Structure 1
């Protein structure tokens, strides 16, 4: 493995996907016959949502190493994301022919067979992926497999139901290798170390007292108090790959509108205590949010009024407050909520070309707009404190932002009931609790 390849792989493990992709592109340009470099470049592309580029790199890896089982497995996984169940089964069959004990291929074959309606075979493959022996799955992935298996067993007993477990891959799953434990080795040791990083609202306020440019990074946990489902809750009812991928939308656009109706539920959804507290935060320079509900803007109007300029809100994943035609990009000037009432067609149609309308959000398989990401990165470079509220920080490319902040020496404080995966790779501080409780306490202490 050449130096560029080694560095690219290290960046992947650290969650720095964009840097990893740049490094791995250089690696394959210097060593075009390095099949593993092509494979790892494909993983970087997939984590960035660049699925077609990922396919190209995976096929290139197989040109130089036709028996590279992980590449076959991931081509099967990409086919699943795109709704190509038969193609997925073909690739996964090839992987398991080459290596019958390959656990991730068994796991993905189980998912593919569930999609195809072959429940008993799906159960057999899912159970096989959990068998004891060498190469056992990492605990988090094994937990997801058991979730798929439990659902498949319920399918067999009660008939078909929507796939409830998200089939989106984990980094360790994509790399197809055992990732190292966090520094400090055992979970018990990590928990003891994490305990030293827990802070109270008053301690966090003291840390932020000298900050002149506070940036907030927010996620769905912030909007729980507004009556909106978290991402985790939504994916317990809907399979993300099947329901909200751009591939699925092209085939059955009405499904996405069913998900939106489920997400919105019975409105209205006013800003919660956490939104209002953040709107009153002194020295707030901006908000980068993964949310699509527009509640930060409502909170600012409620707290500050229309006369006070609002700090920039970077909606990384778009907004439900706007809709557009998927085909011609015409914008009717209506919110997604205005299309989900009783008697409304699903999907609504474009008056200009007849194409399917969609909310102006980033679907799985699409990229975050480069302009939005650039704005968020610029805010991170200028901030001197970062608050991470209501998000697990496990979705690229937003997951790059806290890493960049720490690289710049900026303190990162997580407001979350329990520490996210972010805390295992960054020395973040944890302010534990519900956002609607601890964020108002923090802002109150900060304003004294």
Structure 2
């Protein structure tokens, strides 16, 4: 029964995809959960854990900043070692076939690019890059990890449950002696080059994504609840432009009432099945 339902869902998505010349895709955490990267929200759209740190807390509160970097130091290997799954591969295949005009992702894990996707807009940035808030120097996250390991060798043996976006669930630890990494160029504050909660997506990035949406004749949302406005806005834009909207995810989304097709299913199995069927 489960296999039959999965096949039927994949066929339904395949039929929808074949109905349109060019599709604008927006992805969220549900695309990467099968790669071992946890998501923030449950099927009901509510937080699974405490909300992530805000930009304001990171910049203004040294204790919160130390806590963030300590957790990130322990959690980073989960993202670094993650590999694209069949959902990422399927979307890259659809792009190669000319079906996808652009892919906007709310994820910061870089897995779409690693799967071979060419036209990726990283709406919330990339966590494998770090930027100095003072001089704008950019560094690979791996080099910052090495700096932290040298400065805090006693933290290299700590293990913890993985949390979203390279975070780790560390409780009852003293973060007061954990020193966040300074910029090697100017000594300024280093921050992952991602959009934190309370921070705005760069306008130019939004404009590029909106322009790409105008070139499409349908929109597909994969693995996102759209509870964050930065992603939901594109569902609204598609609806206002009269574009058909399909949603593939487990659970509710903020745009369910806008969708012409809603598939409650596993992103990886459904996308892989749909693409395999299209190629058959």
Please give the TM-score of this superposition, normalised by the length of structure 2: 0.76
Report SS of the residue matched to 1:258.
Answer: helix
User: For 1:231, what is the secondary structure of its paired residue?
Assistant: coil
Larger radius of gyration: 1
Is 1:442 aligned to residue 259 of structure 2? no
Give the match for residue 220 of structure 1: 29
- Give the strand-richer structure, 1 or 2: 2
- What corresponds to 1:325 in structure 2? 132
1:13-412 alignment, distance < 5 Å: 200-232=9-41, 236-240=48-52, 243-252=53-62, 253-261=65-73, 263-266=75-78, 267-281=80-94, 282=97, 283-300=99-116, 310-331=117-138, 333-335=139-141, 338-339=144-145, 342-344=149-151, 346-412=179-245
In 2, distance between residues paired with 1:366 and 1:207?
35
**1:418 CA drift (Å):** 2.3
Runs of at least 5 residues in structure 2 that lack an aligned partner in the other structure = 1-7, 153-178
SS of the residue aligned with 2:107?
coil
Distance 1:404 1:423 in 2: 14
Structure 1: gaps of 5 or more residues? 1-198, 301-309
Residue of structure 2 aligned with 1:422, choices 230, 238, 255: 255
Q: Is the contact between residue 431 and residue 438 of structure 1 (CA under 8 Å) also seen in structure 2?
A: no
Q: Which has the higher contact order (CA 8 A, sep 6+)?
A: 2
The answer (yes or no) to whether the contact 2:54–2:198 under 8 Å persists in 1 is: no
TM-score, normalization: structure 1? 0.49
CA distance in 2, matches of 1:225, 1:235: 19
State the Cα deviation string for residues 107-142 of structure 1 (Å, max 9, x = none).
Answer: xxxxxxxxxxxxxxxxxxxxxxxxxxxxxxxxxxxx
* 1:13 counterpart residue number: none
More helix, by proportion: 1
Give the aligned CA root-mean-square deviation in angstroms: 2.4
Q: How many residue pairs were aligned?
A: 237
**How far off its partner does 1:336 sit?**
5.6
